[in-house]
Structure 1
Amino acid sequence: MTDADYPLIQLHIAGEWRPAETGRTAPVLNPATEEVIGHVPLATAADLDRAAEAAAGGFAAWRAVPIARRTAILHDAAGLLTARSDRVAAVMTLEQGKPLAEAHGEVLRVAGALRWDADDARRAYGRVIPSAPGTLLSVRREPIGPVAAFTPWNFPAGSPMRKIAAALSAGCSIVIKASEETPGTACELVRCFEEAGVPAGVLNLVFGEPAEVSARLIASPHTRLVAFTGSIPVGRQLAAAAGAQMKPCLMELGGHAPVIVCADADPVTAARRAAAAKFVNAGQVCTSPSRFLVHESRYEDFTTAFTEAADAVVTGDGRREGVTMGPLANERRLAAMRELVADAAARGAKVLRGGERLDGPGYFFPPTVLTGVPPESRVMREEPFGPIAPIVPFTDLDEALEVANALPYGLAAYAFTESAATAERLVRGLEAGILSINHCGGSVHEAPSGGVKSSGYGREGGPEGLDAYLVTKRVSHLLGE
């Protein structure tokens, strides 16, 4: 796919594709070339009000659709997305930069997530509770109502689909503000739902100035739930706005995931697995391993193997065959990488690999390995959200756990050990909502993902993934004669 093949970007409100009311747009760039490939409409307050009103009407219609029919429609949408995975992946790579293989895998995963949620909604059981004679006491699970959802650019299909799939499976409608930097993928997703037969108003897609959109949709009297994936500072702002309206939230926020490599671990295997995860999506993943705490007896071997893995990464335009890491998403991320590396180096860290923007057009930053990184360095305290790997030694596990838990983040954590007893100690000791031992695997449909501490609350995926989108109603029915 070339830049010229990029799709027309429009708002989708009440079943219609349309430009913003004022015609206002912003450019969409290809991060591998820095060239404009399209324009995204920026919704007005009137556009947003129409979307919220459409969602209210869509909710009334969608919740009345029998669950078997809803499930069939959502499975049809998943089938359309699977059939179009090559095209959707190509659009994603154009606007976000990740290699085509990664993009294609993302599209297929989200189709699977949609199927999972659609089926799991059929198991959102209530219950009948034994009670006094003549009384029927029951608990019902019902859709909460119209959802306002906000998603970032790093997973242009994955982040929107988590919200859309859960909301629609539960019987809710949704207004989703996808990223203005990756709007094409979101449009392709919505087309699949539209063509599968999702009624008008059930799924509405908007773009705009983020602060304006969130303020308007959260304040709308039609909105019943706020769902957000993104940074902790923005999450706090949205949660505060929702709290002022007494509206519940689902918050999947940032992380700074520690990796603990214990004294009994295989350092080469740990390094290869950790590096493979570190450079996925150029490190632009909220669960990305980003602080490598390695026992001193394994430090040298781990660092050598990790650096070799970093050297093997092929950085370039994600459309090129053989490329394994694409560009960063924008100039902001490049500036952040330069600042973190410069700060660490100024404090005495050694830049073992990378550390400088690559020559030529595009937002390319190479795999970067830092050693001798002081704990006060910014890269040890702030989420890098890029391909920077600081590696530091530790002497005992209590020390490593203290460092791992010292930050307000609590999204993901990783550890490598050959001891079952040590693994259980890590399970009990690490403060994180997601923990992987002896691997750095990503999200799966059948199990929940989410954070603790400042990394958010609520869960996406697994049976828990529908909880935020359902309300629990207690019904006490005094039976007549």
Structure 2
Amino acid sequence: MQGSGVNQAETFLGKTHQLMIGGERVDALSGGTFEVVDPATENVIAEVARAGAEDVDRAVRVAQETFTGKHWRTLNGATRTRLLLRYADIIERHADELAVLETRNNGMPIGSARRTVALSVDWLRHFAGAVTRIHGQSFDQAALSTRYSEIHSYTRREPVGVVGLITPWNGPIGVFMTKVAPALAAGCTVVLKPSEITPLTALRLGELALEAGIPPGVLNIVPGYGAEAGQAIADHAVIRRVSFTGSTLVGKQLVHASAGNLKRLTLELGGKSPLVIFDDADLDRAVPAAAMAIAANTGQICFAGSRLFVQKKVFDRVVAGIGEVMSTYKLGNGMDPATVLGPVVSQKQRGRVLDYIARGCEEGAEIAFSGPATDGPGYFVPPTVFVGTRPGMKIVREEIFGPVLVASPFEDINQVALSANDTTYGLGAGIYTTDLRNAHRLAARIESGNVWVNCYGIMDAAMPFGGLKQSGIGRVLGDEGLGAFLETKSVFVNLE
């Protein structure tokens, strides 16, 4: 751990944490605040201004004025690219500080936090490079029955305007960048509400954007509660698009809210992702990958591999192997470099996960492995593997968002395809096999927006990411992620 990163994070934590609107740090109009807790110690580490509907309206008005002015939308692409690249460089220089803040606020292991910051910098650089590739098309006259004999037709790709971005507590920096990078690249202005549980890195990233020279009013940060600030973003008529990552329940509420103003939505929601291991798989790779697919970020990942399907011949061997791997995981404070499993994010989340484990036992499932409990403070949950489950059990059907794995045997590809799709979700899926015919066949049949073969959880800025069924609407990242923040305008010019 580099001491400078810790010291910088402590300096930031010692500040008064206000809203960021129009490049200025301002109190909430109500004067309200909320406390931020380190989930590993249960200590309060910061107090943050609590945005309400009036604060969101203030931020939206500033964002709209900035958008319609000459500060961002009409900035030429090369200049916007240079500013975004400078922003990426500054984030990279503050990588250790941001990683410490992420670990202190979210609980994830410091190594994971560092990798997330590095990945976010890569994503920002990717979209900085995409700015000058935004273009329309020219068209020849087709079946144009018109009195004009010479028409020049073309399209323009233009920013949608003010966008509302709502980010979750489980991946504050990473999700921030999947939304902010393409929105800024497109030329939009942003009102962003981070989770009230993990607002700190968003506030720091807002400061660094100003340091990079991104004009005031382009990126506005309004920490607050979903029922207050989040609802205000959903209802505001000036906001043209909302991009939300979070629960399927809240995603459905946003769909209802958008009905009154036809706001465009990008929703990246929950998951109950299957990971399939065939009996010909390289188990030396598949077993630790399956363990980490549910253990990463203590299971608090929307595409966590929470349903494990193993071909019957190797089922017992794989389950035992996962238990052996998990027994080596250090459960503890994420600031310890040796920690693999940090705490879950809050006392409420800890209670939720433990309730699911108890419910699984009550419904007759068998615990094949459970890690040791911890003494002392912190919202820790031991990794748990269930076998002997039935399709109707809550632990099989519902998203737990914790380190809880349910494992089931299967006979053949047809059976596992049906079982994998027996869910309302469709975000991620993993396949381990050395038979690429089975890999491609199953990848085509699984109802999921993302499929990983002989790997798990990879995300790339050039590849779209999103879900099917109740796992979401639209995509982040890739050309589709950028296109979400652009409108297409058709122009017809009479050349006679």
TM-score band by shorter chain is over 0.9
Displacement of 1:365 after TM fit? Answer: 0.8
- Identify the residue that residue 39 of structure 1 maps to in structure 2: 47
Conserved? CA contact 2:195–2:225, under 8 Å? no
1:79 to 78, 89, 101: 89
Mapped to 2, the partners of 1:356 and 1:380 lie a distance apart of 23
Deviation of the 1:419 alpha carbon: 1.3
Q: Which residue, out of 268, 293, 304, partners 1:288?
A: 304
CA distance, structure 2, for counterparts of residue 319 and residue 27 of structure 1:
21
- What amino acid maps onto 2:107 in structure 1? G
State yes or no: 1:319 paired with 2:335.
Answer: yes
Residue of structure 1 equivalent to 2:268:
252
Please say which of residues 398-407 and 352-361 is displaced more in the overlay. Answer: 352-361
* Cα distance change, pair 7–444 in 1 and its aligned pair in 2 (3 A): farther
Secondary structure, counterpart of 2:484 in structure 1: helix
Q: Counterpart in 1 of 2:482? A: 466
Aligned-partner Cα distance in 2 for 1:130–1:396: 53
Alpha-carbon contact 2:107-2:344 (below 8 Å) kept: yes
Q: Aligned residue for 1:418?
A: 434
May I ask how many residue pairs the two structures share in their alignment?
Answer: 480
Match for 1:237 among 253, 261, 266?
253
RMSD of aligned Cα (Å): 1.5
Structure 1 counterpart SS, 2:276: strand
1:279 paired with 2:295, answer: yes
Cα contact 1:341–1:355 (8 A) shared by 2 = no
Deviation of 1:4 (Å): 5.4
Task: Answer yes or no: is the 8 Å Cα contact 2:128–2:185 preserved in 1.
Answer: yes
**For residues 10 and 84 of structure 1, what CA distance do their matches in structure 2 show?**
20
Shift of residue 27, structure 1, vs aligned partner: 0.8
Where do 1:75-474 residues align within 5 Å? Answer: 75-131=85-141, 133-354=149-370, 357-474=373-490
Q: Aligned partners of 1:355 and 1:23: how far apart in 2?
A: 44
Change over 3 Å in CA distance of 1:4–1:75 after alignment to 2:
closer
With normalisation by structure 1, the TM-score equals 0.97
Distance 1:23 1:357 in 2: 40
Task: State the partner residue of 2:21.
Answer: 13
Matched AA of 1:241? A
Does the CA contact (< 8 Å) of 2:168 and 2:245 recur in 1?
yes
CA distance in 1, matches of 2:380, 2:79: 46
Are the equivalent residues in 1 in contact too, given 2:272–2:399 (CA < 8 A)? Answer: yes
Deviation of 1:254 (Å): 0.7
Secondary structure class of the residue paired with 1:157: helix
Any conservation in 1 of the 2:413–2:438 contact (CA below 8 Å)? no
- Cα contact 1:97–1:326 (8 A) shared by 2: yes
Q: 2:35 corresponds to which residue?
A: 27
**Per the alignment, in what secondary structure is the counterpart of residue 470 of structure 2?**
helix
Unaligned runs of 5+ in 1: none
TM-score by length of 2: 0.94
Determine the C-alpha separation between the residues in 2 that align with 1:355 and 1:311. 6
CA contact (8 A) 1:411 1:432 kept: yes
Q: Percent identity?
A: 37
- Whether the aligned pair in 2 keeps the contact of 1:274 and 1:439 (CA below 8 Å) is no
Matched position secondary structure for 2:425:
coil
1:39 CA displacement:
0.9
Q: Per the alignment, in what secondary structure is the counterpart of residue 25 of structure 2?
A: strand
Residue 214 of structure 1 contacts residue 238 of structure 1 at CA under 8 Å; is this kept in 2? Answer: no
Amino acid at match of 1:183: P
Contact map agreement 2:276 2:308 (CA 8 A) in 1? yes
Distance 1:109 1:19 in 2: 32
Separation (CA, whole Å) in 2 of partners of 1:406 and 1:341 = 21
Instruction: Using the TM superposition, name which of 213-222 and 413-422 deviates more.
Output: 213-222
Q: Secondary structure at the match of 2:197?
A: coil
Q: Partner letter of residue 458 of structure 1?
A: G
Aligned partners of 1:398 and 1:264: how far apart in 2?
Answer: 16
Cα deviation, residue 149, structure 1: 1.1
Deviation, structure 1 residue 355? 6.8
User: Is the CA contact 1:121–1:466 (under 8 Å) kept in the aligned structure 2?
Assistant: no
